[in-house]
Amino acid sequence: MTQEAFAILGLGNEQNRPETMEQLLASVALVLPMLDVIPNAAIFIKDLQARYVMANHTLVQRCGLKQLQPLLGRTSAEVFPEQLGPGYTEQDRRVLEQGLVLEDQLELHLYGSREPGWCLTHKRPLYNRFGEIIGLVGISVDLQSASDTHPAYERLAAVDEHIRTHFHRRISLSELTRIAGISVAQLERYCKRVFHLTPRQMIQKVRLEHAHRLLHSDLPITDVALQCGYTDHSAFTRQFKASTGFTPRQYRQATAHR
């Protein structure tokens, strides 16, 4: 999905790079109607100030808007809830200033109901023909339901259940392969096909979901980390911030003011 979308946008060929953002947008405008009919992916282009200059209809809806125009010229921090928006903008600035490329970043996004849900985000800088960054392009694809028709589904359902039962402690890949009765390579491949996540992302997702719930309580953050399987408090903070844009403490403070 991601590579195809980038190809549709005409962003994969260095020879076709525009000189300016204006030239890029003029060419993308021709394919925007095609991007508007993709319901499970938010697609966007931002300028050097991390402001939206193009977005498909799915993203417009998830920002609580009916038309594209009010979204243009604004950053994620200005249009998304305070629990999510600032983190997206901070991520954008790293892409724009450092040339960071994000692939399969598991993070929270807003679904059509305006409720947060999981997605896999991809972002990359946009270069002009002179090798200068002129903006960024991004796609956030909704995490799909498990493919229960896959032949390996039953084995992997047991893996998923094991993760959900034992996420509070260290879980090794060898442990999961024994449960599924397959090799590490097969486990990685089948998990991507069935759950659309790697085994490590599956563990991370369950832990972070539990952390979100616990952070709405008065439990000390160190205890939250331990109960979610993180013996290293800094590792918990890094992963939590990567998925939400906030440290656990900042997230707790933000949600307390809702």
**Cα–Cα distance measured from residue 197 to residue 156, given in angstroms and rounded to the nearest whole number:** 12
**Residue stretches of the chain with pLDDT short of 70:** 1-16, 110-116, 256-258
- 45, 123 Cβ separation under 8 angstroms: no
The CATH number covering residue 128 comes to 3.30.450.20
- 191, 202 Cβ separation under 8 angstroms: yes
Task: Give the H or E element holding residue 91.
Answer: helix 85-98
**Residue 40 in domain:** yes
User: Is 65 in a helix, a strand, or coil?
Assistant: coil
Radius of gyration of the chain (CA): 20
Of 142, 175, 207, which residue is a domain's last? 142
Q: Are residues 103 and 218 in the same domain?
A: no
Q: Which amino acid is at 68?
A: L
pLDDT of residue 87: 84
Q: Are residues 129 and 23 in the same domain?
A: yes
Of 121, 142, 163, which residue is a domain's last? 142
Query: pLDDT tens digit string along 103-120?
Result: 999 987 766 555 668 899
Q: Are residues 63 and 93 in the same domain?
A: yes
3-state helix, strand, coil in the chain (%, to 5): 50, 15, 35
pLDDT of residue 15: 61
Q: How many separate domains does the chain show?
A: 2
**Cα–Cα distance measured from residue 136 to residue 123, given in angstroms and rounded to the nearest whole number:** 7
Q: Which of 149, 258, 143, 256 lies closest to 208, judged by CA?
A: 143
**Cα–Cα distance measured from residue 238 to residue 246, given in angstroms and rounded to the nearest whole number:** 9
pLDDT of residue 82: 77
pLDDT of residue 10: 52
- 72, 163 Cβ separation under 8 angstroms: no
Q: Are residues 161 and 233 in the same domain?
A: yes
Q: Are residues 244 and 184 in the same domain?
A: yes
Q: Are residues 198 and 241 in the same domain?
A: yes
Q: Which two tokens stand for residue 171?
A: 């879980």
Query: pLDDT tens digit string along 216-225?
Result: 899 999 999 9
Its domain, for residue 211, covers: 153-256
Q: Which two tokens stand for residue 224?
A: 């939250």
pLDDT of residue 225: 96
**Cα–Cα distance measured from residue 101 to residue 133, given in angstroms and rounded to the nearest whole number:** 12
Task: Give the H or E element holding residue 178.
Answer: helix 173-180
